[in-house]
Homo-oligomer: A and B are copies of this chain.
Amino acid sequence: MKRETSRSYTLGELAERLDARLVGDADLRVDGLSTLADAGPTDLAFLANRAYLKYLAATRAGAVLVHPAHGESCPCPRLELDNPYLGYAKLSRLFDPLVNQALRGVHATAVVAPGARLGERVEIGAHCVIEDGADIADDCVIGAGCFIGADTTVGRGSRLHANVTLYHGVIVGDRAILHSGCVIGGDGFGFAHDGKQWEKIAQLGGVVLGEDVEVGSCSSIDRGALGDTLIGNGVKIDSQVQIAHNVQIGDHSALAGCVGIAGSTKVGRHCLLGGGVGLSGHLTLADGVQVTGMSLVTNSILEPGVYSSGTGSMSNSQWRKNAVRFKQLDEIAKRLTRLERDIRDS
């Protein structure tokens, strides 16, 4: 379903914004973004992957964002630039109805403690609760039903969608985007065993998010036991992710959905963790490490590169036979060694 957007743009405006080469009518207006296959005459489409080149000739798009190499194949006006996918990303926010929404101030039902500080041009949604000492910087939008605990600070230009929870003593950097249901600053999982039962360790640290951090729906980032849990600048965290106490994530790393990171592990800069990846506690991952989906990492990884675990999937009947053999694998290896020796010695 196509959403209505509040604005349209001329190709000339968009070319200027992207510093792209415009071929065609600079006054042509587009009011949406679309794929080559689905675009209509007022949409801007883009070609960012050769697999979609086959759709270019027949696209009904009003205009197309392309690499110069494919410019000649366009049946319509075009914006040429070296990285059309990046160009699409840069333009996409122009068409986001939320981004273009007028600010609505502090809703009458919001409960803002007298000791909280609100910056300029801040929107606080209905039924928000902002505790004492909290500090919401300029140009923030805090969605309905959010809770912002005591002494927590939210940096300039951040957006919290509805029903986000920030505990006390959390620091969120500028331009954060926090999605609904995410919880930042809940207690880390820390207990001492007294021989019979668990004694809770109060989690006295906080959470610090750098600038330009995004956190997906229903994700959780726990507060540190003593020091803080640290999320670097530009880190992107998908939905259903769990980050335990005192974890550190280096700048510009990206964590896909359902990732879980145990306590005190340090992930480097520019790392990529695939969906469902698990990292044990107290590990170090170097800068530039990539881990493929649902892999478990139980040892530090000190060299950049791509890492994996698991078996790959197969039919259940095939799998059953092989999984049984996995339990015999050490024995199989020993039998093989014995056989090699017997033959060598015979």
- Give the residue name and chain of the B residue nearest to A208 (CB): B1
CB-contact partner of A228 in B1, B217, B296, under 8 A = B1
A248 to chain B, nearest CB (A): 14
- Find chain B residues with CB under 8 A from A240 CB: 220, 240, 242, 260
A179 within 8 A of partner (CB): yes
A17 within 8 A of partner (CB): no
A309 with B312: CB separation less than 8 A: yes
CB-contact partner of A276 in B205, B238, B296, B307, under 8 A = B296
B296 with A85: CB separation less than 8 A: no
A284 within 8 A of partner (CB): no
What string of 1s and 0s marks CB contacts (under 8 Å) between A155-167 and chain B? 0000001110101
- Find chain B residues with CB under 8 A from A59 CB: none
A116 within 8 A of partner (CB): no
When chains A and B are docked, how far (Å) is the Cα of A214 from the Cα of B201?
A: 12
B313 with A308: CB separation less than 8 A: yes
When chains A and B are docked, how far (Å) is the Cα of A276 from the Cα of B234?
A: 26
B226 with A89: CB separation less than 8 A: no
A257 with B236: CB separation less than 8 A: no
B1 with A171: CB separation less than 8 A: yes
B258 with A260: CB separation less than 8 A: yes
A322 to chain B, nearest CB (A): 4
What string of 1s and 0s marks CB contacts (under 8 Å) between A107-151 and chain B? 101010000000000000111010000000000000111010111
A252 within 8 A of partner (CB): yes
Contacts A234-B198, A319-B308, A326-B329 given; indicate if A3 touches B189 (C-beta within 8 A).
no
Contacts A171-B1, A309-B311, A313-B308 given; indicate if A275 touches B293 (C-beta within 8 A).
no
Stretch from A7-15, A71-79, A180-188 that touches the partner: A180-188
A70 within 8 A of partner (CB): no
- Find chain B residues with CB under 8 A from A222 CB: 216-217, 239
When chains A and B are docked, how far (Å) is the Cα of A217 from the Cα of B199?
A: 19
A28 within 8 A of partner (CB): no
A194 with B86: CB separation less than 8 A: yes
A163 with B163: CB separation less than 8 A: yes
- In order of increasing CB-CB distance, the 10 nearest A-B pairs are A186-B217, A89-B192, A306-B316, A92-B202, A321-B330, A147-B162, A309-B313, A96-B202, A217-B220, A308-B319
- Interface, chain A (partner B; CB < 8 A): 1, 3-5, 32-35, 38, 83, 85-86, 88-90, 92-93, 95-99, 107, 109, 111, 125-127, 129, 143-145, 147, 149-151, 161-163, 165, 167-169, 171, 177, 179-183, 186-187, 189-194, 196-206, 208, 212, 214, 216-220, 222, 226-228, 234, 236, 238-240, 242, 244, 252, 254, 256-258, 260, 262, 275-276, 278, 280, 290-299, 305-330, 332-333, 335-336, 339-340, 342-343
| Sample of 8 A–B contacts (CB below 8 Å) | A1-B169, A93-B202, A129-B144, A275-B280, A296-B312, A297-B313, A308-B313, A308-B314
